[in-house]
């Protein structure tokens, strides 16, 4: 199971672009941190991928998650995480804040699929640090 991250901007003025390098780095960390659960494999099979679309929502203080949308032909499960744009741009460490919200949302999705997120949460600080350094 791969976890693929991509971005969708709802409007030109609402978006904090996470570079392709950051998204690719986080996706590449997936195999060592996330394993499909028995529940996931039973429901979808071993060869389904998880696609997480990242978008932004103004005037909200928490993530909003929509989904899943399941494509049996493409063998993927898709969710959209709407990150709280107002909260992200409020502080001086925008990239770190965006990544904190993103990882929180991804963990919420994984947990809803019965997938153990303990390795992701244990590694959250180092993932964010490495992603921020890699995007500079």
**Comparing C-alpha atoms, which of 55, 74, 65 is closest to residue 113?**
65
Q: Could you tell me the two tokens for 19?
A: 């570079």
Residues 48/75, Cβ–Cβ less than 8 Å: yes
Q: How far is the CA of 68 from the CAs of 42, 65, 71, 81, in angstroms?
A: 16, 9, 10, 11
What is the structure's pLDDT at 136?
A: 46
Question: How far does CA 34 lie from the centroid of its chain?
Answer: 12
Q: What's the pTM value of the predicted model, to 2 decimals?
A: 0.86
Higher-pLDDT residue of 94, 30: 94
What tens digit of pLDDT does each residue of 56-89 get? 888 889 999 999 999 999 999 999 999 998 888 8
- Per-residue pLDDT, 18: 72
d(CA 22, CA 127): 10
Please answer whether residues 69 and 109 qualify as being in contact, where contact means their C-beta atoms are separated by less than 8 angstroms: no
d(CA 55, CA 11): 10
Tell me how far apart the 2 most distant CA atoms of the chain are, in Å.
44
42-58 pLDDT, tens digit per residue, is 999 999 999 999 988 88
């Amino acid at each position: 199971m791969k976890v693929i991250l991509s971005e969708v901007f709802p409007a030109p003025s609402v978006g904090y672009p996470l570079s392709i390098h950051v998204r690719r780095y986080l996706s590449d960390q997936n195999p060592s941190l996330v394993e499909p659960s028995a529940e996931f494999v039973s429901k979808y099979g071993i060869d389904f991928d998880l696609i997480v679309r990242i978008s932004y929502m103004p005037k909200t203080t928490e993530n909003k998650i929509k989904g899943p949308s399941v494509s049996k032909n493409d063998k993927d499960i898709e969710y959209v995480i709407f990150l709280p744009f107002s909260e992200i741009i409020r502080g001086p460490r925008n990239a770190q804040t965006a990544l904190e919200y993103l990882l929180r949302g991804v963990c919420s999705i994984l947990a809803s699929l019965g997938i153990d997120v303990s390795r992701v949460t244990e590694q959250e600080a180092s993932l964010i640090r490495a992603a921020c350094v890699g995007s500079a």
